[in-house]
Amino acid sequence: MMLLAAALLASSVAAAPPSWREELHWRGQTARIETGSDDSYSLRGPFGERHIPNSASSVHSASPLFDGLFAMAQDDLRQDSVTAIHDGAYDHDQPIPCHCFVAGAKWPYVWTRDVSYSIDLGLWRYDRERAVNSLEFKLSGVRAKDVPQGLYPMQDTGSGGSWPVSTDRVVWFLAARHLLGDKAFADKVWQALTDTLAQDREYTFDARFGLYRGETSFLDWREQTYPEWTKDNVVFIAQSFALSTNVLHYEALRLAAQMAAQRHDPRAATYRTQAASLKAAINAHFWRADRGMYMSYIGGDGMPIEAYDLLGLSLAITSGVADDARARESLSHYPVWPAGSPVIWPERADQPIYHNRAIWPFVSAYALRAARKVNDPVLIAFEIESLMRGAALAGSNMENYALLTQATHVDDGKLSGPVVDSPRQLWSVAGYLDMVTEGVFGLTADGTVEPKLPPSLVPMLFGTRDAITLHMPERTITLKRPHRIDGNLLVADTVTHAGKEIVVVLKAVKVPSLPLRTNAPMYAPPTPSAPEVKRAGDTRRVRASGGHAVLYVDGKRFGGTGDTWTMPASPTRRCMRITRLGSDGIESLPSLATCIGDESRVAGAWPRAWTAPGSGEFRVAIDYDNDHGPINTGITAAVKRLAIRCGDAAVKTVPIVLPHSVGEQLSTSAIFEAKAGARCTFALEQGFNMSDLAHFEHYTGGEGGSGGPLNEANIGALRIAPLGPTASRP
């Protein structure tokens, strides 16, 4: 029944242009605005009534609703601009002086990803000083004495004890790139950039894949987007690769190359090479040709995962990682519902509304940027309308909305939601402001004006007017409509500059149109249990319970679909996962792994010794228990460096991550080579985690904070398994 309802809703996506002047209607609800004599507004809707004062920047169009919602976003921003912040996990919830932006009404603190995405979405235009202060608040030196010193943006408390399970702190540089005009700040950015890229290269970069490991950016409630069994074990996440986080590293490397060249630093060539290699690796590993989209994340062994997310996809497009053909194909295949674009797809039928079955306005704003990048008038109009409708009906720029209704709450039993929501959420506010300044008026980050306006919005924005105007303190932009509209996109014909005033005469052009995908199935099949493996003579028989499935062996698809597979028995270590195949061809998330083959356990005092039984590659991991924080938060993921020496070969040092755990489990793994009979020694060295940063002295919500750095776990046996002859790169 839910699938049928979703299909019916999807089929009702309207192509008619909106006639939103003073009011809009949606699912039996109305939002109406009135203009006061003092240029203030009064907005009425399902939420009640809100008075909106006049603002420093303003829009004059044929739609008081469009004009008033722009003023409302600025009023939301005013309330999010504070002189002190607080959070229950820092300084015992006591105020911390900070001339900063806070994350929202329910989140009166500065969080790295929230403030960084918000500033990148244009908040640097509205209050540069506060933007710089907010970013500097998230920079920290090192307090621990036994680790290398440096300056780093912080990975906030997060999955399994934070970095390097989550590695999207580099989003900080996406924001900082807009604020380099101040030399003192630019010098800090340069130091933090070089230090962070070096550290991430050491601890999170996998040379075999050419990618950085870690959780998807912003999608950090793992049960919503990763297999549900990660609720109690995040090692799979720490070992995996995410599209969004890798694109953020690509952007950071590009910024480093640019800044190095400006400073005549010889590392410019290295950063350029690393960025180009990373771009190639992203396209090689995340692109799924049979779906025509980039996957949201892949397994640590390269296993393709049937999961897609709009933020990662949009960042791949706006960064230039995706070429025009793949960008257009991705946007045409990513599904939409009448209220807007979901942040993930396919949805999870067993999870409540939050990231799952939800619209997040800041992500919609990035999707709007992606649509502009490929000149897609249909999606440009769709995202603008979605952002307007959500803000008008809620009376604020909310954090998220239910996908099917754009409501701020849907009663669906244990699946009700959004589970968490907040008015004037900073990145939603920024997304709305960016929709107006760039999405409608075409004001880009470098100051050029490049409007790309769908004709479907002309009745609402222009009415019978010849022009609409955006007034900002530093400039005024006027768009003049053409006399004839015989195309599907309005772009600049002539641009005239006169002091602070910019006048753009629009012309209509015809561009290839991309259809909205409205017929996609909503849900993925449920995640299956791990495959069963039994030995039968010289073969192994693998069975999937529950019917039609796909088998993956060490990340690669094995055989055809079915429920039983046979393979030769071998001492080589093999790990198998299955996915359930739905009737529509969509795969479920992967099961837990069942691993077979030989494995050695090496215990005792360090350094530990082991003799290779044959020549080839081996995988090594550590049994451990890390009870220094809950599985969903904290800053004490234990990070170690395992120094391996086999025979006369040079020492190979690899990072090993031991996240917060529920009882004993296995760490992330590393691969090394050895010749038959070689004696290998293993030494465990201290690594780096977020508790080593000086800023986290203020952290009072768990271990590793005010009590001092903590980077420890209970260490058990080494587990070493043969992988066979030396493998080629993936």
Backbone torsions φ then ψ of 509, nearest 5 degrees: -125, 160
> Above pLDDT 90, what percent of the chain?
95
Indicate the domain borders of the chain: 532-588, 600-724
Q: Which pLDDT score, from 0 to 100, does residue 431 have?
A: 98
Q: Which pLDDT score, from 0 to 100, does residue 16 have?
A: 66
Whether residue 44 contacts residue 51, with contact meaning beta carbons closer than 8 Å, is answered with no
Whether residue 127 contacts residue 170, with contact meaning beta carbons closer than 8 Å, is answered with no
b/e per residue 693-702 (b: at least 16 CB within 10 A) = bebbbbbbbb
| DSSP secondary structure string for all residues of 113-175 | HHHHHHHHTTGGGT-HHHHHHHHHHTEE-B--SSS----EE---S-TTTSTTSS-GGGHHHHH
Whether residue 566 contacts residue 542, with contact meaning beta carbons closer than 8 Å, is answered with yes
Q: Which pLDDT score, from 0 to 100, does residue 677 have?
A: 97
Token digits for 277? 């290699």
Query: Higher-confidence residue: 242 or 513?
Result: 242
- Token pair 């698809």 is found at 557
CA–CA dist 587, 633 (Å, integer):
29
CA–CA dist 396, 30 (Å, integer):
15
Listed in order, strand segments (DSSP E) in 520-669 are 532-536, 539-543, 549-553, 556-562, 564-568, 574-580, 594-596, 600-602, 608-611, 616-625, 638-646, 652-658, 665-666
Which pTM does this prediction carry?
A: 0.97
* CATH superfamily to which 600-724 belongs: Galactose-binding domain-like (2.60.120.260)
Q: With a cut of 60, say whether residue 11 has pLDDT above it.
A: no
Q: What strands, in cross-sheet order, belong to the sheet with 467-472?
A: 58-60, 467-472, 475-480, 501-509, 489-498
How far from 37 is each of 42, 49, 255, 392, CA to CA, in Å? 11, 18, 47, 21
Whether residue 302 contacts residue 284, with contact meaning beta carbons closer than 8 Å, is answered with no
- Token pair 């993956």 is found at 552
CA–CA dist 447, 451 (Å, integer):
12
Backbone torsions φ then ψ of 172, nearest 5 degrees: -50, -40
| DSSP secondary structure string for all residues of 349-394 | TTS-SSSTTEE-HHHHHHHHHHHHHTT-HHHHHHHHHHHHHHHHHH
Q: pLDDT band for position 727 (50/70/90)?
A: low
Mean pLDDT, residues 588-605 taken together: 97
Q: Which pLDDT score, from 0 to 100, does residue 6 have?
A: 43
* The dihedral formed by the CA atoms of 360, 204, 370 and 72, expressed in degrees to the nearest 10: 40
Token digits for 387? 């952002």
Residue 48: enclosing H or E segment and its boundaries?
A: strand 48-52
Token digits for 188? 């800090």
Token digits for 717? 């046996």
CA–CA dist 525, 580 (Å, integer):
6
How far from 85 is each of 82, 104, 173, 430, 701, CA to CA, in Å? 7, 11, 22, 19, 16
* The dihedral formed by the CA atoms of 113, 118, 121 and 124, expressed in degrees to the nearest 10: -120
Q: With a cut of 60, say whether residue 398 has pLDDT above it.
A: yes
Q: Convert the pLDDT of each residue in 598-643 to its tens digit.
A: 999 999 999 999 999 999 999 999 999 999 999 999 999 999 999 9
Burial (CB < 10 A; 0-12, 13-18, 19+), residue 356, is buried
Opening angle at CA 334, ends 586 and 413, nearest 5: 70
Range of weakest confidence among 145-149, 454-458, 724-728: 724-728
CA–CA dist 306, 303 (Å, integer):
10
The residues that bridge with 335 in the sheet, in sequence order, are 517
Token digits for 660? 């917060």
b/e per residue 174-206 (b: at least 16 CB within 10 A) = bbbbbbbeeeebbebbbebbbbbbebbebbbbb
Q: Convert the pLDDT of each residue in 226-279 to its tens digit.
A: 999 999 999 999 999 999 999 999 999 999 999 999 999 999 999 999 999 999
Mean pLDDT, residues 210-233 taken together: 97
How far from 717 is each of 604, 621, 624, 714, CA to CA, in Å? 8, 9, 8, 10
The residues that bridge with 653 in the sheet, in sequence order, are 643
The residues that bridge with 567 in the sheet, in sequence order, are 540
The residues that bridge with 646 in the sheet, in sequence order, are 680
Q: Convert the pLDDT of each residue in 687-715 to its tens digit.
A: 999 999 999 999 999 999 999 999 999 99
Label the pairing between strands 344-345 and 549-553.
unpaired
Q: Convert the pLDDT of each residue in 337-358 to its tens digit.
A: 999 999 999 999 999 999 999 9
Q: In the predicted model, what is the mean pLDDT of the chain?
A: 96
What are the percentages of helix, strand and coil residues in the chain, rounded to 5?
Answer: 30, 30, 40
CA–CA dist 82, 78 (Å, integer):
8
CA–CA dist 366, 361 (Å, integer):
9
Q: Which pLDDT score, from 0 to 100, does residue 21 have?
A: 95
